[in-house]
A and B are shown apart, each in its own frame.
Chain A
């Protein structure tokens, strides 16, 4: 049973992930594989979709209104394509829940949040070694970053400018 972690801690996953061969139900919260998105659109589901990280995220744009969740695949923690996919989905205007699914590590949690993700769904093998405390400790460990325009994390560049104004040097 994968472990779901977000900013607030662990939670029971309200979503069911549909396998490629499973029968599509007509109610409930379902994360469907990308290739089954078309058939799931008309079912009376609360709909999520799983996007493998070698897929162009722009392809989901027409379905944003219908999707409550997008799960982005992280086949390994060192495969960082998902960070850009998350950023792109937010840039395209997706406002639903964004999930990173795969064996990411707690040291990446802050980066995932900064790229627009809300939660991670971890395989047990990782969750066992990396208890919730590790995940809870990560956000804010680097209190301000140098980049601008990111979710969650404040920017040193903006803080500098604010400090400069406050000191009357702006």
Chain B
């Protein structure tokens, strides 16, 4: 993974000192709250319902054990002993005190971490594929590009007071696990007909109250042009994006209102006329970064050790975990293992300090010290020898993180909702917990098969409900929580926005509604292999609508 050099260290330390000074100037009144707010947001500090919340950046979700242990230390020292992994591959602490935040930032800096631009109207954490460097079909590790973008976007003088937040995602594989089509700019690493590696650039995707699928801005961008090109795009957005209404200020609205062809013409004009050479990274910089992401040296291991086969027979729970929670590695004899942070009845994405420490130990022992936070709010250990999977599994079982439910109905994404968030209009964690309890039976989950449920507690859609196979949006209707259901959303290269079933449902009704939708699917599917999403695409909304509303009268 990337390691800081002297310049990165100095930069982050200077930012910590700057923030300490900003906090002091807020306390003396030199900065009023309106002025301080964007400054603290740009350093990840929110004021939530009950307390401050600090969101720490995990660039493209990549962590080592030293960093994970520091997160555990922070959770114990300055918070209530746990943290919450987010859909942006970051981690949030929900109970820090303002006066402790500079110390927390200093602790983070000591392990090459920060909270820079995890909030605010600026370029946010660059997200990527949790199977970077693992997936066999990958063209190039997308974290090299993501790290280039992370550095370029950090405290960018021109683009730190944008009209609204700005999110990049990068994938190195055609199979998109980074949801690039629902980001402000999505980047896919591709190979052109001449065999050169470059980028396909998408723009104007996003969720929130006006969800949109990204459109193609550039079919092929040479790698060397990355920084000037994104700079041109950001400049057009910064100059022309709407400022009159914060709900219409994202780039997706500008692209939609301008039209993709005209928007592209403006970006290409800026790109053609700007001083590209002045902006482009010097020769060797991308190679310097790429060296940090060279594949780890993995000792040759048998692809199917006898002991591994035997343990799967002896321990059917383990066999199920292997089937659901591991992913084929490009190196034979290895797998990427997903640690599900979705225990039955738990808050999606939460981990205690103890769980973080054990995950760190396991990553150090079995996964070349590497971990990834996924946008599905789980943790991936990317390089595990297949012969070590059972030991890893037992280690996870000791801390209650051995759920074999990756990609199943209880692998739910949920925003913090009304339990924490000042913007929320409804609860989302308790809804996730109720659904999880309803479908606790593992056999039943496996019978249902791949299914993503995503829950947001307000229209801002942090829980990505639009791209859930079943999306749940909690709203406030005259003081009562009401949950709107969407079906058929998808986040991958087949990205699509879900369709609304109809009028919303009460808080207590949601688990029953989800059950009804799933029963309808089970009745309709053509054979066990047809997934919920496939069935929905085949039969459409009608039968689901009927099941949900016809009987309600």
Residues of A within 8 A of B (CB): 77-81, 83-85, 87-88, 91, 105, 107-108, 110-112, 114-115, 129-131, 134, 137, 141-150, 153, 156-161, 163-164, 170
Q: How far is B279's CA from A107's CA once the two chains are assembled, in angstroms?
A: 24
Q: How far is B380's CA from A155's CA once the two chains are assembled, in angstroms?
A: 35
Which A residues are in CB contact (< 8 Å) with B278?
148-149
A80 and B154 within 8 A (CB): no
Q: How far is B235's CA from A115's CA once the two chains are assembled, in angstroms?
A: 12
Residues of B within 8 A of A (CB): 5-8, 10-11, 14-15, 17-18, 21-22, 25, 29-32, 35, 38-39, 121, 151-152, 154-163, 235, 238-239, 243, 273-275, 278-282, 284-285, 288
Query: Which among B29, B238, B275, B288 is the interface contact of A160 at CB below 8 angstroms?
Result: B288
B157 and A78 within 8 A (CB): no
Q: Which residue on A lies nearest to B122, using beta carbons? A: A80
B235 and A84 within 8 A (CB): yes
Q: How far is B7's CA from A159's CA once the two chains are assembled, in angstroms?
A: 8
Which B residues are in CB contact (< 8 Å) with A144?
7, 10-11
B284 and A147 within 8 A (CB): no
Q: How far is B30's CA from A137's CA once the two chains are assembled, in angstroms?
A: 14
With A80-B161, A115-B158 known as contacts, the answer to whether A161 contacts B10 (CB < 8 A) is: no
Query: Which among A77, A84, A143 is the interface contact of B35 at CB below 8 angstroms?
Result: A77
Given contacts A87-B235, A107-B22, A156-B7, 16 further A-B contacts (CB under 8 A): A78-B121, A78-B161, A79-B161, A79-B243, A80-B121, A81-B239, A84-B235, A91-B273, A114-B157, A144-B10, A145-B155, A145-B157, A146-B155, A147-B156, A157-B151, A158-B282
For residue B458, give the distance in angstroms from its CB to the closest CB of chain A. Answer: 22
Mostly, the A contact residues are helix
Q: How far is B155's CA from A141's CA once the two chains are assembled, in angstroms?
A: 12
5 closest cross-chain pairs (CB), A and B: A80-B161, A149-B278, A111-B157, A114-B157, A146-B151
Which A residues are in CB contact (< 8 Å) with B161?
77-80, 83, 108
With A80-B162, A87-B235, A91-B275 known as contacts, the answer to whether A146 contacts B157 (CB < 8 A) is: no
B279 and A149 within 8 A (CB): yes
Q: How far is B238's CA from A158's CA once the two chains are assembled, in angstroms?
A: 26
16 contacts across the A-B interface (CB closer than 8 A): A80-B238, A81-B239, A91-B274, A107-B18, A110-B157, A111-B158, A129-B29, A130-B31, A142-B11, A149-B275, A150-B158, A156-B7, A157-B285, A160-B5, A160-B288, A161-B285
With A108-B161, A130-B30, A149-B278 known as contacts, the answer to whether A81 contacts B243 (CB < 8 A) is: yes
Which A residues are in CB contact (< 8 Å) with B8?
156
Q: How far is B281's CA from A80's CA once the two chains are assembled, in angstroms?
A: 25
Query: Which among B15, B157, B274 is the interface contact of A153 at CB below 8 angstroms?
Result: B157
Q: How far is B280's CA from A114's CA once the two chains are assembled, in angstroms?
A: 17
Q: How far is B156's CA from A111's CA once the two chains are assembled, in angstroms?
A: 8
**A-B interface contact total, Cβ < 8 Å:** 122
Which A residues are in CB contact (< 8 Å) with B151?
146, 156-157
Which A residues are in CB contact (< 8 Å) with B17?
141
Which B residues are in CB contact (< 8 Å) with A153?
157
A83 and B285 within 8 A (CB): no
Q: Which residue on A lies nearest to B151, using beta carbons? A: A146
Query: Which among B7, B157, B275, B281 is the interface contact of A83 at CB below 8 angstroms?
Result: B157
For residue B184, give the distance in angstroms from its CB to the closest CB of chain A. Answer: 16
Which A residues are in CB contact (< 8 Å) with B32?
129
With A143-B14, A149-B279 known as contacts, the answer to whether A83 contacts B238 (CB < 8 A) is: yes
B284 and A164 within 8 A (CB): yes
B275 and A129 within 8 A (CB): no
Q: Which residue on B lies nearest to A130, using beta carbons? A: B30
Q: Which residue on B lies nearest to A54, using beta carbons? A: B243
Q: How far is B282's CA from A112's CA once the two chains are assembled, in angstroms?
A: 24
For residue A31, give the distance in angstroms from its CB to the closest CB of chain B. Answer: 22
Q: How far is B160's CA from A107's CA once the two chains are assembled, in angstroms?
A: 11
Which B residues are in CB contact (< 8 Å) with A81?
238-239, 243
Q: How far is B29's CA from A153's CA once the two chains are assembled, in angstroms?
A: 29
Which B residues are in CB contact (< 8 Å) with A80?
121, 158-163, 238
Q: Which residue on A lies nearest to B39, using beta carbons? A: A107
A147 and B279 within 8 A (CB): yes
With A134-B25, A148-B280 known as contacts, the answer to whether A105 contacts B31 (CB < 8 A) is: yes
Q: Which residue on B lies nearest to A58, using beta carbons? A: B273
With A105-B35, A129-B29, A143-B10 known as contacts, the answer to whether A148 contacts B238 (CB < 8 A) is: no
For residue A82, give the distance in angstroms from its CB to the closest CB of chain B. Answer: 9
